[in-house]
Structure 1
Amino acid sequence: MRRLPLLKICGLRPGDDLSFLRHPAVTHVGVVMVPASRRYVAPEDAGPLVRAAKRIRPDVTAVAVVSGGSCDEIGEAARRAGVDVVQLHGGEPQGIEDRLRKAGFQVWRAVAFDPGDDETSFLDTVRSHAAVADAVLFDAKPPSDAKPGVTGGHGRTFDWDRLTQMAVAFNFDWWVAGGITPENVRDLLRRVRPVGIDVSSGVEAGGRKDVGRIHQLIQAMEAWGHESLSIS
């Protein structure tokens, strides 16, 4: 079977069933530390959640999703949460990537996939982010009524065909987020080959992470792997 992309289950909250971590396909988990988000987890609550995840899977990579704040605030929140990666969504001070990396964190930069008519300018912006981050995560543009600072978790997809066309110019690690579900993940992977995929609302039921939905997602990814192997 062709190697599957890395898989991040994002938006965990205290009380979620973490048994899905026993499946090796899940490589990353994310906690949202953006106060305006409905999935917000405070640093003091994120710490026990991350530790619980790592008790089940010591090798899982924990990611803190942040938006805005000073270098000191973000660094302290990430330290208290015990995460490995800080995922920046905008509004942070210049140079924060170096500060966080020196503090021992990997740094990802989330970018709304919205090239518009000026693809060259968009690519230049993405490359400038990639030059100072360990990975770029492409997400859908937030809806017009989204709360300020809440740039992800809206369950919206974006133009994957356009991404396919542009991805040939990428020379950095990149992820895809935004509206990925068990029902459409095979279609996504047929079009693009990201390093990893980031899933949140697509594996929820009643506003909570659903183990059954996560297993369905993994099964669909594995089906794509077998399918792509047979084609090649």
Structure 2
Amino acid sequence: MLGFVFADSRRRIELNAAQKIARAVKGIGKVGVFVNAPLAEVQEIAGQCQLDFVQLHGDETPEYCRAVKHPVIKAVRIGSGFDIADIEAYDVDWVLLDSLVPGQYGGTGVAFAWNDAQTLRWRLKNRVMVAGGLTPENVGEAIRILSPDGVDVSGGVETNGTKDSEKIYRFIQAVRAAQRGGGNAENHFS
């Protein structure tokens, strides 16, 4: 999958650029990343960019997620004291497990304690994606511990804020090696 960040971020893409890329890309799932955006804005951008998924990375409620007219990837931040029941309340297509960094909604480059999320991963009925501080060096371990359905990476394959083709290649190779070892994750780049 290819991610387009529409949230306020150094990775934010302008709508015109996202539309142009979305039209040019065939055969790859397109994901729009939003943080606490008005529902109407999410729906409009998702339609204009022909997004396959909407990734909600903020404080969106289960009701908000149900109102989205596209398949939803809901990011939940894993830190001390997270409540599995609160996460299970989300009736979404995917749950994305990310690290909890107070005041930030993803893109922190900080990994969470994957072992602490094992029970959650297996209780969820949703497809599960893992994010948060993933790099070519550690993605294999995350896959071995959590056996996610997918992984989400951005900063872990960048050098000085720009995507680095060598790091992307090494990341993909690490994912494939972990898959051969029993994991089942697919890649999701934003």
Instruction: Determine helix, strand or coil for the equivalent of 1:95.
Output: helix
**Which residue is 2:188 aligned to?**
none
Matches within 5 A, 1:128-143: 128-129=89-90, 131=91, 133-142=92-101
1:155 equivalenced with 2:109 (yes/no):
yes
Q: 2:31 aligns to what?
A: 63
The TM-score normalised by the length of structure 2 is: 0.87
Find the counterpart in structure 2 of residue 34 from structure 1.
Answer: 7
Task: Kindly provide the amino acid, as one letter, of the partner of residue 178 in structure 1.
Answer: G
Q: 1:101-153 CA deviation, whole Å, 9 max, x = no partner?
A: 2xxx211111101251xx6xx11111101x2x1111111012x4x5xxx5011
CA drift of 1:94 comes to 6.5
The equivalent position to 1:200 in structure 2, one of 144, 147, 154, is 154
Which digits, 9 at most, give the CA deviation of each residue in 1:45-79, with x for residues without a partner? 21112223x1xxx2211000001222211111222
* Equivalent in the alignment of 2:76: 111
Pick from 20, 24, 33 the counterpart of residue 48 of structure 1: 20
SS in 1 for 2:97: strand
> CA separation of 1:115/1:166 partners in 2, compared to 1, >3 Å: closer, same or farther?
farther
The corresponding residue for 1:10 is none
* Residue identity in the other structure for 1:49: I
Give the superposition deviation at 1:220: 1.3
For 1:109, give the aligned amino acid: K
Instruction: Give 2:52's match in structure 1, choosing from 56, 59, 84.
Output: 84
1:81 Cα deviation from its structure 2 partner: 2.5
Q: Distance in 1 between matches of 2:121 and 2:143?
A: 13
Q: Distance in 2 between matches of 1:227 and 1:88?
A: 31
Question: What's the counterpart of residue 24 of structure 1?
Answer: none
SS at match of 2:111: coil
**Which structure carries more relative contact order (alpha carbon 8 Å, separation 6+)?**
1
The AA in structure 2 aligned to 1:200 is S
Letter in 1 for 2:2: V
C-alpha distance in 1 between matches for 2:40 and 2:126: 27
The one-letter amino acid of 1:217's match is F
**CA spacing shift, 1:166–1:72, aligned 2, 3 Å:** closer
* TM-score normalised per structure 1: 0.72
Cross-structure match for 2:141 = 187
Which 5+ residue runs of structure 2 have no aligned equivalent? 184-190
- RMSD of aligned C-alpha atoms? 2.0
Distance 1:226 1:175, change over 3 A: closer
| d(CA) in 1 for partners of 2:58, 2:180 | 38
**Distance between the aligned counterparts of 1:201 and 1:46, measured in 2?**
19
Structure exhibiting the larger radius of gyration computed from Cα positions: 1
Q: Aligned residues: percent identity?
A: 32
Output the CA distance in 2 between the equivalents of 1:178 and 1:155.
Answer: 6
